[in-house]
Chain A
Amino acid sequence: MNASYGIKSWLLTKDHKRIGLLYLATITLFFFLGGAFATLIRIELLTPQGDLVSSETYNKLFTMHGVVMIFFFLIPSIPATLGNFFLPMMIGARDLAFPKLNLLSWYLLVIGGLFALFAMLAGGVDTGWTFYTPYSTSYSNTWVIATAIGIFVAGFSSILTGLNFIITVHTMRAPGMTWFRMPLFVWAHYATSLIQVLGTPVLAVTIVLVFCERYFHIGIFDPALGGDPVLFQHLFWFYSHPAVYIMILPAMGVISELVSTFARKPVFGYGFVAFSSLAIAVLGFLVWGHHLFVSTQSVYAGLIFSFLSYFVAIPSAIKVFNWTATLYKGSISYATPMLYAFGFIGLFTIGGLTGLFVASLGIDVHVTDTYFVIAHFHYIMVGGAIMAYLGGMHYWWPKMTGRMYPEGWAKLSALVIFLGFNLTFFPQFILGYLGMPRRYHVYPPEFQVLHVLSTAGASVLAVGYVIPMVYFVWSLRYGAIAPANPWGASGLEWKTASPPPKHNFEETPIVTHGAYDYSHVIGEEVEVG
């Protein structure tokens, strides 16, 4: 992997591991950019009057926070970094099926990101990340088109990554690596890729239509010409609801790996967990209308969408129960990745259960577009996806870099993040039910106490995110040298050196047993990191 050096060898690399690291650098940048926007939002909301920034600026802040976090951090986060790095290794392949396409995907994300950054530097965009028409097409005076192009281009990055993963899983598995011997991480990424491939093009065409409407003033969704703004919402959410699963499914894949490794037991109900990923991917496409319950969508359509939404609860519940059951009679280690996994299961449970609230028509009429929904999806996206991402980062950091991170600091930051997160977002559930609408720059004074609590939590959370950033960078130079398999894990990626050689394995591995068979690992020498 470190065969050659120099910027050119990185920018023209076709090695999936290096591309994964390029993604890692890119999305880390975007994460802290989005985090900076979030910080400003939380500081602004300390007081009800809106005295830090103007309303225009505030609206731009939450829009850019959403755009950056969703399209440039969460969507590529786990698949494009950890997935890129480990999916081929886990199935015993030398690389993805289309290495050049993989590099192209990274460039597309960067180009899309540059468009978005340009829009931000030029003055920002204020439509909300949802770009609802006719506000986005006819009324906003901000940089909608540049942002839209950025998202369009980044969308193709996502499509091509998904395509690459699907083909890789189908055609590149090592001898003996049957479908039901694949790690659940791979299953989860396969399901994610299906969503990326089937959903993202619809977002792309929606953006094209919004672009045409705004630039050429032709009215596809313009009510003045007889267009239907709710049609935009259908097209938008056809992608953007499944997009939530693009973010959370890979996280679930990571958690399956962590729970198994640190309980040193196969995941309970492997088949159920594997198929629940596919079920979530499929069902995720049938429920988008639950974002439209008060949009003037038909009552009957609302009924169907609400009903189907509850079906997503089943595979999600199956996963949570099976992870918990995996702990039963295990050998549970308290290594940092496992702490993140515990955090994930707890927070995802709360996020998932509050999802039942918003799927219920009667409750959703009240809580939609309030802080309740904000809290709900942050429990899934931050409490779920980011916890899993950090857990995965700690788990695979030794493999990616060949260095160990400092365990004490890592445990501390995991705790700080868990506490800070709950303090930030739990009050928002209450705020929402009390009626605090989202995207409000100024708000009635009775909501201030809860907002202050939330901001206090956000500061704790921010500290929690900076600590790993510091010690990860520190460990690159000063961390202990990592052995090949510091955790006693069973995946193929641990059967090669840390960091892995250019073609991953000295010779193509031949798989003879299912994933999570620890008798082969522990029977040999257990190395302790």
Chain B
Amino acid sequence: MTGHVDSVKTYALVFAALICLTILTTGVAFIDLGPFSVVVALVIAVCKMLLVALFFMHVRYSTKLTKLVVSGGLLWLGILVLFTLADVVSRGWVGVPGR
């Protein structure tokens, strides 16, 4: 009934990692990485999301269905963003305005 109970130590380690990543991403923002600044910031954010989801939200010990729901949700967000960007980015490739 209670499911899997993680130790306080595990949670504390995850928490420490989250704080470190926050400091890291803030620090990196002050270094000029050009276009990679976006990549680095988002990779760190995704890592933090995974830590929170897997440990704090117990996805690690959840059923396959929960994992499917989570990944399905992210996939749908991807569909929304990618298909819209497909339009925004390729507008004007033809070289004729508005087509």
Asked whether A231 is an interface residue with its Cβ less than 8 Å from the other chain, the reply is: yes
Taking a contact as CB atoms under 8 Å apart, the answer to whether A301 and B79 are in contact is: no
Asked whether B1 is an interface residue with its Cβ less than 8 Å from the other chain, the reply is: no
Asked whether B12 is an interface residue with its Cβ less than 8 Å from the other chain, the reply is: no
Taking a contact as CB atoms under 8 Å apart, the answer to whether A300 and B79 are in contact is: no
User: Residue A286 contacts which of B65, B79, B94 (CB distance < 8 angstroms)?
Assistant: B79
Q: Mark B72-92, 1 if CB is under 8 A from A, else 0.
A: 010010011001101111111
Taking a contact as CB atoms under 8 Å apart, the answer to whether B90 and A289 are in contact is: no
Taking a contact as CB atoms under 8 Å apart, the answer to whether A296 and B99 are in contact is: yes
Q: Which residues of B contact A296 (CB under 8 A)?
A: 91, 98-99
User: Residue A299 contacts which of B65, B76, B83, B99 (CB distance < 8 angstroms)?
Assistant: B99
CB proximity to A under 8 Å, residues B56-84: 65, 73, 76, 79-80, 83-84
Q: Which residues of A contact B80 (CB under 8 A)?
A: 202, 238
Q: How far is the CA of A231 from the CA of B81 in the complex (A)?
A: 11
Asked whether A285 is an interface residue with its Cβ less than 8 Å from the other chain, the reply is: yes
Q: Which residues of A contact B76 (CB under 8 A)?
A: 198, 285
CB proximity to B under 8 Å, residues A169-225: 170, 198, 202
Q: Which residues of B contact A230 (CB under 8 A)?
A: 87
B43 to chain A, nearest CB (A): 26
Asked whether B30 is an interface residue with its Cβ less than 8 Å from the other chain, the reply is: no
A328 to chain B, nearest CB (A): 37
Asked whether A304 is an interface residue with its Cβ less than 8 Å from the other chain, the reply is: yes
A295 to chain B, nearest CB (A): 9
Give the total of A residues in contact with B, Cβ under 8 Å: 22
Most chain-B Cβ atoms within 10 A of its Cβ — which of A228, A235, A285? A285
Taking a contact as CB atoms under 8 Å apart, the answer to whether B87 and A289 are in contact is: yes
Q: How far is the CA of A87 from the CA of B61 in the complex (A)?
A: 31
Q: Which residues of A contact B36 (CB under 8 A)?
A: none
Q: Which residues of A contact B83 (CB under 8 A)?
A: 234, 286, 288-289, 301, 304-305
Known interface pairs A170-B65, A285-B76, A285-B79; A300-B98 also in contact (CB < 8 Å): no
Taking a contact as CB atoms under 8 Å apart, the answer to whether B84 and A234 are in contact is: yes
User: Residue A298 contacts which of B65, B73, B79, B90 (CB distance < 8 angstroms)?
Assistant: B90
Taking a contact as CB atoms under 8 Å apart, the answer to whether A301 and B98 are in contact is: no
Asked whether A448 is an interface residue with its Cβ less than 8 Å from the other chain, the reply is: no
Smallest CB gap from B73: residue in A: A198
Q: Which residues of B contact A202 (CB under 8 A)?
A: 80
Smallest CB gap from B98: residue in A: A296
Q: Which residues of A contact B84 (CB under 8 A)?
A: 231, 234-235, 238
A74 to chain B, nearest CB (A): 23
Q: How far is the CA of A299 from the CA of B73 in the complex (A)?
A: 29
Q: How far is the CA of A305 from the CA of B82 in the complex (A)?
A: 12
Q: Which residues of B contact A299 (CB under 8 A)?
A: 90, 93-94, 99
Taking a contact as CB atoms under 8 Å apart, the answer to whether A301 and B99 are in contact is: no
Taking a contact as CB atoms under 8 Å apart, the answer to whether B93 and A300 are in contact is: yes
A503 to chain B, nearest CB (A): 26
B94 to chain A, nearest CB (A): 5
User: Residue B93 contacts which of A235, A285, A298, A305 (CB distance < 8 angstroms)?
Assistant: A298
Q: Which residues of B contact A297 (CB under 8 A)?
A: 87, 91
Knowing that A288-B83, A299-B94, A299-B99 touch, tell me 8 more A-B residue pairs with CB under 8 angstroms: A234-B83, A234-B84, A235-B84, A297-B87, A298-B86, A300-B86, A301-B90, A301-B91
Interchain Cβ contacts under 8 Å between A and B, 7 examples: A198-B73, A238-B80, A298-B88, A298-B89, A298-B91, A300-B86, A301-B91
Which 9 pairs show the lowest CB-CB distances between chains A and B?
Answer: A301-B87, A298-B90, A296-B98, A298-B91, A300-B90, A234-B84, A298-B87, A198-B76, A297-B87
